[in-house]
Structure 1
Amino acid sequence: MEAKTAANSYHWIWIQHQLVEGASNEGGRGPSIWDAFSHTAGKIIDGSNGDTAVDQYHKFKEDIELIAKLGFEAYRFSISWSRIFPDGLGTKVNEEGISYYNNVINALLERGIQPYVTLYHWDLPLYLHETIEGWLNKEIVKYFSIYADTCFQNFGDRVKNWITINEPLQTAVNGYGTGIFAPGRNENSSTETYLAAHHQVLAHAAAASIYKYKYKEKQGGQVGLVVDCEWAEANSDKIEDQIAAARRLDFQLGWYLHPIYYGDYPEVMREKLGERLPKFTEEEKELLRNSLDFVGLNHYTSRFISHARESPEENDFYNAQEVEIIAEWEGGERIGEKAASEWLYVVPWGIRKVLNYIAKTYNNPPIYVTENGMDDEENETSPLHEMLDDKLRVVYFKRYLAAVAQAIKDGANVKGYFAWSLLDNFEWAQGYTKRFGLIYVDYKNGFARHPKSSAYWFLRFFKGGQGKKGKEE
């Protein structure tokens, strides 16, 4: 199936990015937990850091021109909390930060590109971590609310699409459980993982409430939360494996969406975690209820799931699920072709199943696929033309877009799709070892940008959509 049959036109397919900004010590920005983490020996696989990332702080006009030339009509990016409030407390606004994001937003709109803005993508101001232990302290909800309010006030006349928090599961599990992400805590994963998650979902609800009652009527925008989910496919017809797969989805999606749609965490999480899982007050349940206008879904891959009475994982979050996460059938056949990252396999049918699952489980809410893509391995010895010819990525996007199209035909209320990602970049703990971009970034030569085959595929795709527009609309 051709991807362009996904909808009546191409206008729902967009581009996005994160961890590209750099300029960590410029423009009045304060340090974040990722600045400290990436400068700690042994935390980043190649010893790099995000100080410069790919220098979008200085190159944003060039990047916006690339977005426009490729035909994308929306761009998802994140605001750095510590560029707005260097200490995170909200006592004094950094006007240089306000000015920078105003410039980015205005440049996007001048080129006909709609900004989709994420308020929190893992980069907590370091001061909040050092003074109140960050997401472990309920006070963080207050500080996040002040930050969100400031962004709505300064940018909401032009920004109509807001995401409060990106992938709170990753912050909670990898930041406060396994310790492989900032702030790198793993000493008390049996409690801290769930506290960090609890305060993030409350922070989302608080920010959404501020927008709803203070800005929505005048500004006319919408607010969502981005969750990440691998599809969990039962590894057999055994009832215990079917139940394990359902349990895995509750631990991924239900952890954040159940409180919003049903007022509490999934029953299976309460059963497995007991007192480790915090409780909501009645007032908090009311705040959470229907506190989003859309669900953002980050999806990359899928796995087979079987029941495991003794989990092979040491981390409490994974151990409590009692599942085994498998990439191969018993006969050795992989679930899909492997990308560069050890966890990422090309499984297009999985995204259709996730979208239909959300539609069925949560009363068919508006959904934006906010991240979808795959990575290549960095290879310093390969010539540039080989690195630019990303054949598997083209196949990936064709097949995943076709699967999204099928979900739309199934009835899922998909409103938009963001390809991950515009640029190769500093990939968190993987540093510069993985490349997710449609555009190759030459890290050694001024961060020069070179479009890959996948970028040109989207360009041709959009032109094809334009050619059919008159017949389809």
Structure 2
Amino acid sequence: MNKFPKNFLWGGATAAHQIEGAYLEDEKGLAVTDVITLKEGSKRRITENVEPGHIYPSHQAIDFYHTYPSDLKLFKEMGFKCLRVSISWARIYPQGDEKYPNEKGILFYKNLFQEMRKNEIEPVVTLNHNDMPLGLVKKMGGWRNRQCIELFVEFAKTCFNAYKELVVYWETFNEINNILIFDYEILPFMSAGIKFKEGENKEKVTYQALHYQFVASALSVIEGHKINPKYKIGNMAAFNHLYSKTCDPKDQLLTYNLNREHFVCFDVQARGQYPSYLLKEWERKGIQLDINQNDLEALKHGCVDFLGFSYYTTDVVDSNKNSIKQEQTNIVEKNANPYLEYTEWGWAIDPLGLRLALNMLYDRYQMPLMIVENGLGAIDRVIENKINDDYRIDYLKKHLIEVQKAIELDGVNCIGYLAWGPIDLVSASTGEMTKRYGFIYVDKENDGSGSGQRIKKKSFYWYKRVIETNGDSLFGNIDEIEPNSANTKV
């Protein structure tokens, strides 16, 4: 009863701008994340260009661009079946609109994927993970411009052709729905290069940009299947669902409606059409978008092969806080669930919520699911070159037990679990290194100082045991951690 599927994809997930560094090396162009600073005060800042006096975490990150051979050996030691990485669009097309790709960028990822294959690690490759070329923002306003569709599809085709012997699993856009969190300016900029203008309708702008991304994704799926029919091309959206504060029907209805917003991107990319509830919402709000018949045909024929999603937390909805003028953030309460514990960054720790998420998605779409991000950001302390991160082990263990229940008891077709940040990396939300997720500690601080030395945490050995027993160790059938294991420098 405890077994995960025989070919379950155990692994981890990363992003180019959070690990690679080498931000201008080998003719790479600036990406949007290269002009986003470390958190200054309460939030990160977007600058027009790289400016003195600021720390830009993506410039160094953890130097994976140069250390990937040794880092992959550590992932192999843990027994990884797969690793999610992303291709920096600005490494392949430095300004985004060149006629020919940057061969040095093509070669870097070819070498990376070949090295992964040597280590028997299946690549899961995201085409756009928050790093579109800054040149496209400056020239055409990012994804508010329809021209980005053609440019992205050309980028996708270049990658599909270059790596068709090395990659099977692809994802088009990372957390594509984050663009809709338009009150936090960093997310629309990271997701789509969007900078809002004074007085414009932010909701209309973000939905228009999202539509262009939907079309680009669908056309890329179509082209990818032409290039290699064996390709499995998925989407990727954040799925952190909501609970009602009470059983008051008003709370229930509001929660239902807000949760539907989490389904929008899955509906379009899995079903090939816009859901009726969203079309009605646009009608009520007078939102008219640039959508043509060719777009709708592309969406219809470019449905994804599997659904990838991230899951970190859940929140609570209170209808008593709702008014016409209030924003969603005022009715979705943080730290409001008395049944849950919270992380140092205020995220609810909700393992059962992951089982619910898996069931909600599988009931609705009946498509293979891949958990492509889940993990705990925490402050790790190094004591005598050891990191005893039992809190991370506890977090992951409880989540994985719920994944197993969803598979075995509920019949969900979940094909993989990729822990976010298998090695410490730059936090996307804050730019910090001290918000650590990894099984492997990286000696880097927020300001970029540090040796870059890798140290195996206690969770390294725990996850290794989970993988080699295909999950049996989660249930106490087998010792979770080898008796003589110790945290060691690499």
Q: TM-score, normalised by structure 2?
A: 0.84
Q: Give secondary structure in 2 for the equivalent of 1:377.
A: coil
Structure 2 distance, partners of 1:194, 1:250, is 15
CA contact (8 A) 2:235 2:269 kept: no
Structure 1 distance, partners of 2:39, 2:395, is 35
Structure 1 distance, partners of 2:219, 2:85, is 21
Which ranges in structure 2 are unaligned for 5 or more consecutive residues?
A: 46-53, 474-490
CA contact (8 A) 1:74 1:116 kept: yes
Structure 1 distance, partners of 2:385, 2:206, is 42
**C-alpha deviation, 1:190, in angstroms:** 3.0
Structure 2 distance, partners of 1:262, 1:11, is 28
Q: Give secondary structure in 1 for the equivalent of 2:2.
A: helix
1:336 matches 2:335: no
- Flag as ranges the 4+ runs of structure 1 deviating above 4 A: 39-43, 45-48, 311-314
Which residue is equivalent to 1:404?
403
- 1:24-423 alignment runs, 5 A limit: 24-38=23-37, 44=44, 47-170=55-178, 172-174=179-181, 177-181=183-187, 182=189, 183=193, 185-187=195-197, 188=200, 189-212=202-225, 214-217=226-229, 220-258=230-268, 260-261=270-271, 263-268=273-278, 270-271=280-281, 274-276=285-287, 278=289, 280-289=291-300, 291-307=303-319, 308-310=321-323, 314=327, 318=328, 323-329=331-337, 333=338, 335-342=339-346, 344-362=347-365, 364-377=366-379, 382-384=381-383, 388-409=387-408, 410-423=410-423
For residues 182-213 of structure 1, give each alpha carbon's deviation from its aligned partner in whole angstroms, at most 9, with x where no partner exists.
Answer: 3473444232222222221111111111112x
Change (3 A) 1:12 1:86: same
Q: Give secondary structure in 2 for the equivalent of 1:22.
A: coil
Change (3 A) 1:456 1:252: same
For residues 67-107 of structure 1, give each alpha carbon's deviation from its aligned partner in whole angstroms, at most 9, with x where no partner exists.
Answer: 00011111110000010011111412111111110110000
Which residue is equivalent to 2:478?
none
Structure 2 distance, partners of 1:402, 1:467, is 10
For residues 440-464 of structure 1, give each alpha carbon's deviation from its aligned partner in whole angstroms, at most 9, with x where no partner exists.
Answer: 1101432111121211111122233
Q: Give secondary structure in 1 for the equivalent of 2:344.
A: coil
AA aligned opposite 1:299: Y
CA contact (8 A) 1:194 1:277 kept: no
Q: Give secondary structure in 1 for the equivalent of 2:35.
A: helix
**C-alpha deviation, 1:31, in angstroms:** 0.4
Change (3 A) 1:106 1:303: same
CA contact (8 A) 1:229 1:249 kept: no
CA contact (8 A) 1:23 1:55 kept: yes
Change (3 A) 1:145 1:262: closer
**C-alpha deviation, 1:164, in angstroms:** 0.5
Q: TM-score, normalised by structure 1?
A: 0.87
Structure 1 distance, partners of 2:171, 2:363, is 22
Identical pairs, percent: 26
**C-alpha deviation, 1:111, in angstroms:** 1.0
Q: Give secondary structure in 2 for the equivalent of 1:415.
A: strand
- 1:9-24 alignment runs, 5 A limit: 9=6, 11-18=8-15, 19-24=18-23
Change (3 A) 1:435 1:294: same
Structure 1 distance, partners of 2:231, 2:395, is 32
Change (3 A) 1:372 1:297: same
AA aligned opposite 1:453: K
Q: Give secondary structure in 2 for the equivalent of 1:388.
A: coil
Which ranges in structure 1 are unaligned for 5 or more consecutive residues?
A: 469-473
* Count of matched residue pairs: 446
For residues 289-312 of structure 1, give each alpha carbon's deviation from its aligned partner in whole angstroms, at most 9, with x where no partner exists.
Answer: 251000001111112223243278
Q: Give secondary structure in 2 for the equivalent of 1:434.
A: coil
Change (3 A) 1:299 1:404: same
AA aligned opposite 2:311: H
Change (3 A) 1:277 1:387: farther
CA contact (8 A) 1:250 1:269 kept: no
**C-alpha deviation, 1:41, in angstroms:** 7.0
Which residue is equivalent to 2:485?
none
**C-alpha deviation, 1:230, in angstroms:** 0.6
Which residue is equivalent to 2:468?
463
Structure 1 distance, partners of 2:275, 2:61, is 36
Change (3 A) 1:297 1:98: same
For residues 382-419 of structure 1, give each alpha carbon's deviation from its aligned partner in whole angstroms, at most 9, with x where no partner exists.
Answer: 44459721111101111111111111121211111111
Which residue is equivalent to 1:426?
426
Structure 2 distance, partners of 1:37, 1:104, is 26
AA aligned opposite 1:449: R
- Root mean square deviation of aligned Cα: 2.6
AA aligned opposite 2:308: G
Which residue is equivalent to 1:471?
none
Structure 1 distance, partners of 2:368, 2:58, is 34
Structure 2 distance, partners of 1:297, 1:225, is 8
CA contact (8 A) 1:5 1:402 kept: no
For residues 260-312 of structure 1, give each alpha carbon's deviation from its aligned partner in whole angstroms, at most 9, with x where no partner exists.
Answer: 41611451563266333636433322211251000001111112223243278
